[in-house]
Amino acid sequence: MRRTFKALLKHPSGLVGLVLLAGILIMAASAGTAYPEGPWPMDGTPTLWPGEERAYLLGTDAMGRDLLAGLLYGARVSLAIGLAATAVALLVGVTAGALAGYHGGWIDDALMRFTDAMQTIPSFLFAVVIVGVLTPSLLTIICSIALVSWPTVARLVRAEFLRLRSLDFVLACRTMGMSDARIIFRQILPNCVAPIIVASSVLVATAIIIEASLSFLGLGDPNAMSWGTMIGAARPSLRTAWYMTLVPAAAVVATVLALNLIGDALNDALNPRRRER
């Protein structure tokens, strides 16, 4: 673990990604102390441009809410949803992929047809439908993102298990009389941690994009100030006050960029065969 982290710091894009992500984390952590009254109070003059007034560093939106406060609280929402949705997707995807890859047979067939079906429905459309039909909230957003992301994990883990299950060390475990559950979780799974970690950073990035897109469409949690909500709310003033769009948009791009850079660096660090690229 520590060696991976060191490799990340040495990798140029890994370093940039980590620095960016650290910035986002600091934003999320400081939201409560910097703005204890939350991102909602409409106490500023509406439509203040960034730098126009010292108290509102990044300006205010059309309703007089502080954009910086929204930005900090939005970091919390994005990171929380990204991490939670990825955790659920990993839990479901790894379990399903491991069982299917290890056992094969009808379990494998059933899983493959099911993931085929899941990947046939356009995933963002599916997320819109689920959140819309079940009414938008943090929980439904997390569930919908996890639901559209787990098949990718399941396929990845299944492929790794298919490759590993016929190797000698698994045969040795079986000969020793080890239980299936123990072989799956204690012996094979640790060997596919690397691709799962690489996939996770991309999953978090995708989850953050889906969340921003949903809340931009007005399908965000009405009680959570998210970057997508801010961009959506700024749309009517796009022509006159574009900073309202640009400020949260830059935050989304920076976060996704950070996660992608870290993913690339992890891929290079954990797959030595492909390092020369």
Partner 1 sequence: MSGSPGLSYFLRRLSQAVLVMFVVVLGNFLLIRLAPGDLVDVLGGTTDLSPEQALALRQRYGLDQPLLMQFLRYAGNLLHFDLGFSPRQGAPVVNVLLERLPTTLALVFLSLFLSVAIGTAVGVLAARRAGTVADFGLSLVVLLFYATPSFIIALLLILGFSVYLPWLPSAGISTPGLDLEGFAKLLDIGRHFILPVIALSTFYTAIYGRLSRAAMLEVLSQDFIRTARAKGVPERSLLWRHALRNALMPIVTMAGLQVSSLLGGAVLIETVFGLPGIGRTAFDAVMERDTNMLLGVLFMSSLGVVCVNLLVDLIYRLVDPRVELA
Contacts with partner 1 by CB under 8 A lie at 113-114, 116-117, 119-130, 132-134, 205, 209, 212-213, 216-217, 219, 231, 235, 238-239, 242, 245, 249, 252-253, 256-257, 260-261, 277
Our CB check for partner 1 shows the closer of 170 and 230 to be 230
How far apart are CB 46 and partner 1 at their closest, in Å? 20
- 93 and 157 in contact (C-beta within 8 Å)? yes
Q: How far from each other are the two terminal CA atoms of the chain, in whole angstroms?
A: 23
Closest C-alpha to 47, from 68, 71, 63: 63
Helix, strand, coil in percent for the chain, rounding step 5: 75, 0, 25
- Cβ 265 to partner 1 shortest distance, Å: 12
**Cα angle 224, 226, 227; round to 5:** 170
Least Cβ distance, residue 54 to partner 1 (angstroms) = 27
Smaller CB separation from partner 1, 178 or 217: 217
Whole-number minimum distance, CB 189 to partner 1, in Å?
27
Residues 6 or more apart whose Cβ sits within 8 Å of residue 110 = 100
The least distance separating partner 1 from the CB of residue 269, rounded to whole angstroms, comes to: 17
Cβ-based nearer residue to partner 1, 60 or 140: 140
Give least dist CB 152 to partner 1, A: 11
How many CB atoms sit inside 10 A of residue 136's CB? Answer: 20
Residue 267: what residue type?
A: N
Distances (CA, A) of 91 to 21, 94, 168, 197, 251: 24, 6, 27, 13, 28
Q: Smallest distance, Å, CB 253 to partner 1? A: 5
Nearer to partner 1, 183 or 251 (CB): 251
Question: Using an 8 Å Cβ cutoff, are 214 and 91 in contact?
Answer: no
Query: In a 10 Å sphere around its CB, with 0-12 CB exposed, 13-18 middle and 19+ buried, how is residue 113 labelled?
Result: exposed
**Complex with partner 1: residue 198 or 252, whichever CB lies closer:** 252
CB of 34 to partner 1, least distance (A): 25
Contacts of 57 (CB under 8 A, 6+ apart): 50, 51, 68
The nearer residue to partner 1, 173 or 246, going by C-beta atoms, is 246
Closer of 44 and 263 to partner 1 (Cβ): 263
Residue 60 or 123: the one with the smaller Cβ distance to partner 1 is: 123
Return d(Cα 57, Cα 40) in angstroms, integer.
16
Partners of 231 in beta bridges: none
| Sequence-ordered list of residues with C-beta below 8 angstroms from that of 100, at least 6 positions apart, any chain | 107, 108, 110, 111, 112, 154, 158, 161
